Structure 1
């Protein structure tokens, strides 16, 4: 990256536009920036989830913490790549692939691995419990927000890779299952919705 970010402010965007990775400029109110912003927020909240899980378990050497740290690190890199895809509208033309089908399968394998030890879910659960459980649910909600905006952007521009959309969909499923795992790890139970 060199000196690319040596100056943080440029004043170029004071006119209400922002540069894309391909050199074009768009208004800051464009759907593309809304989508990038939600994906960025999801990434930041996943980083917070990692910090909360580590703090609550107070043992970074713990097997679960090591496992979740590695998974979250991988997810954060993938989300950053997705941000790159969104910022580069002509990504397909130049051969940039943020996410592929193997990335989707990885998430599916993680979901299956965690889910096999969870009891069958008979009722809806509330996004409640420990701080880490709640944070996992917040990230799940943001993954759904990201998915909706990616779909909307793709409907408009037809340039969001199918594997990217699938990845975000599976990510919300992964975060739901992870919230269930964390609830048990914290010694708590899931908060069941009272009909």
Structure 2
């Protein structure tokens, strides 16, 4: 359990921060930018949840928890080491990816196949879910870039890849199962 008795520590005033293993890196390091962007995704999900109800809200709540798991995974280098107390380090798992895939498959059955690209919008929830999708894609790009320099849990990359697809399908569900999607009309304003 995490206990935060004091919110500010002043230890980052010099422009560095601690990773999950205790090592310190610059706040602008790629690893910090990567898990910081995952945190940004989580904040956008919080906004989307202001408009969500029922199963979709419950699924978004699970995603928010997963995103904290993902941040914990990404802030901890040393893939093969346990923490100092000997506990296993929290890592993303294939079961989290599998759950997203099953939810995407269920949503796909509820919408008609696309015949055009979709513009972000429609309902307020759909617009927020599109924002979640685009920030997730940025987090994925950063994670893939980080993986070219350091060892990254492959499930982390797979999760982000599926998550952006999840947000896309969820946006269609939020637009009355795709019937209220805003379709792109190529060259409409020429």
Q: Fold conserved (TM > 0.5)?
A: yes
Q: Which runs of 5+ in 1 are unaligned?
A: 54-64
Match of 1:191 among 177, 182, 187: 182
Partner of residue 96, structure 1 = 89
Normalized per residue, the structure richer in helix is 1
Distance in 1 of aligned mates of 2:80 and 2:99? 23
Q: 1:71 aligns with which of 36, 53, 59?
A: 59
2:130 and 2:168 in contact (8 A); partners too? yes
Give the conservation status (yes or no) of the 8 Å contact 2:108–2:169. Answer: yes
Cα shift readout 1:67-95 (whole Å, capped 9, x = no counterpart): 11221111111110110011111243224
Q: In the TM superposition, what are the counterparts of 1:51-66 in structure 2 within 5 Å?
A: 51-53=50-52, 65-66=53-54
- Is the contact made by 1:137 and 1:179 (CA closer than 8 Å) also made in structure 2? yes
Contact 1:107–1:171 (Cα < 8 Å) also in 2:
yes
Q: Is the 8 A contact 1:130 1:188 kept in 2?
A: no
Deviation at 1:117, TM superposition (A): 1.5
- How far apart are the structure 2 equivalents of 1:92 and 1:147? 22
Q: Distance in 1 between matches of 2:105 and 2:161?
A: 15
Map 1:84-163 to 2 at 5 A: 84-94=72-82, 95-158=88-151, 160-163=152-155
Aligned residues: 181
**Is the CA contact (8 Å cut-off) linking 1:91 and 1:97 kept in structure 2?**
no
SS in 1 for 2:13: helix
Across the aligned residues of Structure 1 and Structure 2, the Cα RMSD in angstroms comes to 1.6
Listed as ranges, the gaps of 5+ residues in structure 2 are 83-87
- Quote the Cα distance in structure 2 between the aligned partners of 1:128 and 1:191: 6
- In 2, the alpha carbon distance for the partners of 1:77 and 1:98 equals 13
Once superposed, which parts of structure 1, at least 4 consecutive aligned residues long, lie more than 4 Å away? none
| 1:18 counterpart = 2:11 | no
Looking at structure 2, the residues matched to 191 and 108 of structure 1 have their Cα atoms a distance apart, in angstroms, of: 25
TM-score by length of 2: 0.90
Offset at residue 184 of structure 1 (A): 0.9
TM-score, structure 1 length as denominator? 0.87
Compute the displacement of 1:98 (Å): 2.3
Q: Please report how far the alpha carbon of residue 5 of structure 1 lies from its aligned counterpart in structure 2 after TM superposition.
A: 1.5
Q: Match of 1:60?
A: none
Aligned-residue offset at 1:97: 4.3
